[in-house]
Amino acid sequence: MSSQQPEQRRGGFVRDNAISLFFGAIFLLALLGQAFAGWQQYNNEQVADGLSTISLWSFLGSATFGVDVVENWQSEYLQFLLYIWATVWLIQHGSPESKTPGEEGTETVKQQKIGSAALVGSPKWAKAGGWRLTVFSNSLVLVMGGVFLLCWLAQSITGVAAYNEQQIVQLQDPIGWSSYVVSAEFWNRTLQNWQSEFLAVGSMAILAVFLRQRGSAESKPVGAAHAATSVEG
């Protein structure tokens, strides 16, 4: 096996996990803001329809709040699922988000540092063979795909519940889950999220060819040529 990788300098817990902590914090703040704003909007609609208002806690447990949350989650995980998979096989010349042209595919054992080419500090399953190596080699896509499917299922379940609440208010018959997941209501909510995620990812891949952000791992060095591919700042 190859020698141990050079040990990276470690800071404190906050410094070493700053990205996760930052996005975790603003996620919670945004979710809290969505809860309060959604609650106010829901009660405004209830008053307009001549119905009684509900408490914040009741709103948080409602299908209306649930579907608004998970329909965005599933589109985000789908975005990353497809991007992770697509960048194995597809390239974008000049993008730091892409592999170098000619390196498409799953790469060699040596490039991936697995099996006999694993390092001393490599994860155990990277050194193993058989199904364990196969699973670990695809674990990111498998988990992202699993979370996407769970969020999609949660969206469909909460969505049909919220839809049927409106059906009852309008004195119309509720529908079943199987009818809802093929309805225009469901796919309108779903596709309006998907198209925005695909636009954002595609824009990032293209814009990073010609634009820079000094010091960012998602950007090429400021002085790098536009044609430089798979180069990060």
* Predicted local confidence at residue 228, as pLDDT: 85
Contact call for residues 161 and 65 (beta carbons, < 8 A): no
| Of the candidates 98, 96, 100, 99, the residue with the CA atom closest to the CA atom of residue 212 | 96
Q: How far apart are CA 170 and CA 49, in angstroms?
A: 10
Tokens encoding 45 = 């609609």
Q: How far apart are CA 29 and CA 80, in angstroms?
A: 22
What is the 8-class DSSP label of residue 77?
H
The dihedral sign for the CA sequence 146, 151, 154, 159 = negative
Q: How does residue 102 score in pLDDT terms, banded at 50, 70 and 90?
A: confident
H or E element in which residue 194 lies: helix 184-210
Q: Tell me which residue has tokens 């141990």.
A: 4
pLDDT over 70 at 53, yes or no: yes
9-31, pLDDT tens digit by residue?
667 899 999 999 999 999 999 99
Q: How far apart are CA 38 and CA 217, in angstroms?
A: 35
Contact call for residues 155 and 74 (beta carbons, < 8 A): yes
pTM for the model stands at 0.85
